[in-house]
């Protein structure tokens, strides 16, 4: 069986994503090509499946670098191994050897060993993702309690990753304000930070789309899908054929925010996304958000983000908490 056929068969097994929480990060054609990439540190990777044709005395140092720098576990995969391959595997401390006739059970066994999970644990990943996603979408405060309960769950990072992906798929307007990858484990240095970022994402979701009745649905949806449009109350009332006084009264009563304050926050959160993800001038961004006075825009931005627009844009490691 060719290397390409082996990889195709491996990736076709119904074990990736659900319900195990494990997914394929990337496929490399050589050990050196992996080490030469930005992923050479192996951060966030739990398992390396390495074809036996790449295993030799000459590649041993590279394999040791992968093991030592990443902390990830190694599995050999390929044809029936010979004594030399077995010897090198022992030296590396590989967790398993999968032959070309592998099936789903082989990988599930490996997953359970490296994560310390039982079959029940793997099933519970799916249950936690489903429950957490539903709470997030419905804006339920019980989400905080559930996150606390899951603190000791071994696959929590995977649960968060999958929930984030579900959320961005369900709330397709979110990527106008936030980047999905910022909340995934690949971008976070540790689980504590990933949890903090996830809760920040939930809070941002509630700020952008606060609890409300169906009477305000079209108003909220119009605003969050079009933050760069003219969102003055008078114009919005005419556009959506809603009594202006009624809109003002009902909006405050249901969301707890004045209409103007809500629109300001939405526009500034969109402005923050443009600052981080484009090279547009600050004056241009202010104009797109309907601010004719850049000084006033800067004051409003600092009031919300505790930093000026120019300061917000500069550092990569700034804590963009709202």
Q: Is residue 322 part of a domain?
A: no
Angle at 77 between CA 76 and CA 78, to 5 degrees: 130
Q: How confident is the model at residue 119 (pLDDT cuts 50, 70, 90)?
A: low
- Average pLDDT of the residues in 237-257: 91
- The stretch 242-248 carries a mean pLDDT of 90
Helix (H, G, I), strand (E, B) or coil at 98: strand
CATH at 308: 1.10.10.60
Q: What pLDDT is recorded for position 115?
A: 64
Q: Averaged over 66-94, what is the pLDDT?
A: 71
Which range (18-22, 51-55, 258-262) has the least confidence?
Answer: 18-22
Dist CA 296 CA 302 (whole Å): 10
Res. 121: pLDDT tops 60? no
Average pLDDT rounded to a whole number, residues 285-313: 94
Quick check: is 289 in a domain?
yes
| Whether pLDDT at 206 is above 90 | yes
Domain stops at, among 208, 224, 243? 208
Give Cβ neighbours of residue 293 (< 8 Å, ≥ 6 apart): none
Distance from C-alpha of 224 to C-alpha of 21, rounded to nearest angstrom: 31
My answer on whether 8 and 111 are in the same domain is yes
Q: Quick check: 218 pLDDT over 90?
A: yes
**Over residues 192-208, mean pLDDT:** 95
pLDDT at 42: 46
E strand or H helix at 76, and its extent? strand 73-78
Give the integer Cα–Cα distance in Å for 174 and 132: 17
Q: Is the pTM of this model over 0.95?
A: no
Domain residues for the domain of 79 are 3-115
Torsion of CA 300, 301, 304, 308, to 10 degrees: -120
Q: Which of 250, 227, 228 is nearest to 237 (CA)?
A: 250
**CA 75, CA 96: separation in Å to the nearest integer?**
5
152 and 75, same structural domain? no
How many structural domains are present in the chain? Answer: 3
pLDDT in tens, 33-56: 777 765 544 445 777 888 877 888
Judgement on whether residues 53 and 143 belong to the same structural domain of the protein = no
**Res 71: pLDDT:** 61
Are 24 and 107 in a shared domain?
yes
For 89-103, what is each residue's pLDDT tens digit? 777 777 677 776 666
225 and 295 part of one domain? yes
Q: What is the pLDDT of residue 1?
A: 41
Name residue 78's beta-bridge partners. 99
More confident of the two residues 44 and 254: 254
Under the banding of pLDDT at 50, 70 and 90, the label for residue 32 is: confident
Residues 18 and 95 in one domain: yes
Res 173 pLDDT > 90: yes
Q: What is the pLDDT of residue 183?
A: 93
Whether 319 is covered by a domain: the verdict is: no
d(CA 262, CA 265) in angstroms, rounded, equals 5
Do 152 and 185 lie in one domain? The reply is: yes
Q: Of 208, 228, 254, at which residue does a domain stop?
A: 208
pLDDT band at 320 (very low <50, low <70, confident <90, very high): very low
Of 128 and 29, the one with more pLDDT: 128
Supply the pLDDT for residue 69.
63
On whether residue 43 sits in a domain, the answer given is yes
- For the stretch 290-301, pLDDT in tens is 999 999 999 999
Q: Is 134 in the same domain as 237?
A: no
In this predicted structure, the answer to whether residue 120 has a pLDDT above a threshold of 70 is: no
How would residue 15 be classed by pLDDT, with cut points 50, 70 and 90?
Answer: confident
């Amino acid at each position: 069986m060719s290397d390409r056929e082996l990889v195709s068969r491996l990736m076709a097994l119904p074990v990736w994503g659900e319900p195990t929480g494990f997914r394929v990060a990337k496929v490399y054609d050589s050990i050196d090509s992996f080490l030469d990439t930005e992923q050479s540190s192996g951060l966030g990777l739990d398992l390396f499946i390495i074809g036996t044709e790449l295993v030799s005395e000459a590649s041993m140092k590279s394999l040791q670098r992968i093991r030592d720098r990443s902390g990830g576990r190694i599995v050999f995969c390929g044809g029936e191994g010979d004594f030399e391959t077995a010897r090198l595997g022992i030296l590396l401390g590989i967790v398993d050897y999968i032959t070309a006739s592998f099936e789903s059970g082989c990988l599930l066994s490996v997953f359970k060993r490296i994560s310390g999970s039982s079959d029940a644990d793997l099933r519970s990943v799916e249950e936690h993702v489903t429950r957490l996603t539903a709470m997030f979408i419905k804006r339920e405060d019980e989400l905080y309690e559930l996150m606390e309960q899951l603190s000791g769950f071994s696959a929590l990072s995977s649960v968060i990753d999958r929930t984030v992906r579900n959320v961005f798929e369900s709330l397709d307007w979110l990527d106008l304000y936030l980047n999905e990858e910022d909340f995934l484990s690949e971008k976070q240095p540790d689980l504590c930070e990933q949890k903090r970022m996830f809760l920040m994402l939930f809070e941002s979701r509630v700020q952008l789309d606060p609890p409300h009745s169906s009477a305000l649905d079209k108003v909220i949806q119009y605003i969050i899908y079009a933050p760069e449009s003219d969102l003055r109350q008078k114009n919005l009332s005419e556009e959506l054929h809603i009594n202006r006084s009624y809109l003002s009264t009902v909006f405050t009563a249901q969301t707890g925010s004045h209409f103007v304050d809500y629109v300001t926050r939405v526009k500034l959160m969109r402005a923050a996304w443009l600052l981080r993800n484009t090279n547009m001038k600050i004056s241009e961004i202010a104009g797109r958000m309907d601010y004719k006075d850049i000084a006033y825009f800067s004051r409003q931005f600092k009031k919300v983000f505790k930093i000026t627009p120019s300061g917000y844009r500069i550092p990569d490691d700034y804590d963009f908490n709202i």
